[in-house]
Amino acid sequence: MRIAIASDFHIGFGRGTERENEAFEQAKQALELVLREKADLLLIAGDLFDSDVPTQEAWLQMFQLFSVLKKQKLKEKPLIKKIKKEKIEEFELPHLPVIAIAGTHEFRSKDFKNALEVLQEAGCLVYLHAAKAELELQGEKIVVHGLSGIPEKKALDALKLWNPKPEHGAKNILLLHQSIKEFLPFDDEMVASISLDDLPTGFDLIVDGHLHWSSEENLEKKRFIVPGSTVITQMKRLESTKPKGIYLFESNENNLKFFPLPGQRQFLFEKIEFKEANAAQVKEQVERKLQEMLSTAIGKPIVKLKLRGSLAKGLSSADIDLRQLGEKFKEKGIIAIDPDFEETDFKQKLQELRQAQLGKRSIAALGFDLLEKNLQETEFNNAFDVKRVFDLLAEGNLDRVVELLSEEKK
């Protein structure tokens, strides 16, 4: 069986910018590639959407994506059995079978349905969370085990509690959507709780979404891949060294191959080091580097510059305005400049970090972190499901929150 593997479409990303259709266009390329390579099954490792509550425009694009799969005429429609604890459901999709897990961007508490549950109800895919799906095609049995993305601090406990076991006489694939310690630049228990050693053995393939660059590791008794995203959102250095694409797994031969998307946007990344530089020197070097990078670029690339090192005494990042350079080159590329200089003014540095964080995260995410942090300083710490209470508060359901807290108190 030919099994296509993709992840992190992030439909809805870039709304209101010149990149607002890019996630859709590149996800469409991925699905067209799946059909071109004559895959029998598609697995998606989370973050199909960029938001837990997608806009109407994002929903429209998602349904347009699934209509791409209907172009392929199926020789046979496999029956997919979804098994969760004692419950068994059967599905027969009208197009190429798709099995998916939700990502951290789609995570919602148990009081609310997530986007993949809606897609399952619409007949687009089979959604897994702490469950498995079985299907037989061409005389071969495939079992897909899936754990959807959850808050990182609880991920290892959830994996151990679920404790998936491969089935004998079948090809077994495990889908996850979490950070993995070995793939992060620093060791932080608050960022990742799962390491490669924690992953279960006996599976023919373990697939992890969430990380946006593709990677493959052949470990003892474990074959582990990260498909990467189909669109650039995080703008990490590794994304500039590896193309976006999909994997194809030939289950009979245990052969794995990566296929890059044919029309993806180029991403260029450079780091510039400074030593006691003044504003003019910074601007001059940044402009020179942008001219150099864009001179050989293909199409209109994304260009990210990370500025590091030290500035002249008395100078801070706030004193250096690089917006004019962004305007100067905006017709040639999408420019992102990240100044992070060593500064003696701690308060100034703290304010810049706070502003950067606000720019990268939603108000809802910051509000949830603030609630969780404040609870850790009270006797209510770990007394109830914080995410569930936060989602209910966000919906204005105060009565249900009071009811839940009263139940926990009892």
Contact status, residue 179 vs residue 146, Cβ threshold 8 Å: no
Is 251 within 8 Å of 285 (Cβ atoms)?
Answer: no
Put residue 384 in one of left, alpha, beta given phi > 0 → left and psi -120 to 50 → alpha. Answer: beta
| 371 pLDDT above the threshold of 80 | no
Which two tokens mark 242? 């590896």
- Residue 225, Cβ density class (10 Å: 0-12 exposed, 13-18 middle, ≥19 buried): buried
Average pLDDT, the chain: 88
| 10-53 confidence digits (pLDDT tens) | 999 999 999 999 999 999 999 999 999 999 999 999 999 999 99
pLDDT confidence bin for 187, thresholds 50/70/90: very low
264-285 mean pLDDT: 93
Q: What is the pLDDT of residues 238-267, one digit of tens each?
A: 888 999 999 999 998 899 999 999 989 999
Dihedral of alpha carbons 148, 218, 29, 8, sign: positive
Give phi and psi for 92, each to the nearest 5: -135, 100
CATH 3.60.21.10-classified regions of the chain: 2-260
**Cβ proximity of 25 and 88 under 8 Å:** no
Measured CA to CA, the distance from residue 35 to residue 46 in angstroms comes to 20
Can you tell me the distance from the alpha carbon of 264 to that of 244, in angstroms, rounded to the nearest whole number?
Answer: 7
Say which residue the tokens 């469409």 belong to.
28
pLDDT of the residue at 409? 55
What is the distance between the alpha carbons of residues 120 and 344, in angstroms, rounded to a whole number?
54
Reference 358, options 374, 346, 371, 370; nearest CA is 370
Q: Strands 140-146 and 131-137, how do they pair? A: antiparallel
Mean pLDDT score, 262-281: 92
Q: Which of 107, 115, 76, 110 is nearest to 93 (CA)?
A: 76
Cα dist. 246→2, 21, 207, 299 in Å?
Answer: 13, 19, 12, 22
If you write DSSP's letter for every residue of 273-333 in order, what string do you get?
A: EEEEE-HHHHHHHHHHHHHHHHHT--SS-EEEEEEEEEE-TT--GGG---HHHHHHTTTT-
Which fold does the domain 2-260 belong to in CATH? Purple Acid Phosphatase; chain A, domain 2 (3.60.21)
Say if residues 197 and 164 touch (Cβ distance below 8 Å).
no
H/E run at residue 270 = strand 267-277
Residue 194: phi and psi, rounded to 5, are -105, 135
| Residue 81: strand pairing partners | 90, 134
Q: Which two tokens mark 97?
A: 């079978």
pLDDT band at 292 (very low <50, low <70, confident <90, very high): very high
| Rounded Cα–Cα distance for residues 274 and 309 (Å) | 5
322-366 pLDDT, tens digit per residue, is: 889 989 999 999 999 998 887 544 445 555 555 555 555 555 666
Q: Residue 207: what residue type? A: V
For residue 135, what is the DSSP state? Answer: E
Q: Which amino acid is present at 375?
A: L
Nearest-angstrom CA–CA distance, 296 and 80: 49
CA–CA gap between residue 351 and residue 387 (Å, rounded): 28
Q: Who wins on pLDDT, 175 or 373?
A: 175
Q: Which of 114-118, 263-267, 313-317 has the highest mean pLDDT?
A: 114-118
Max mean pLDDT range (196-200, 356-360, 367-371): 196-200
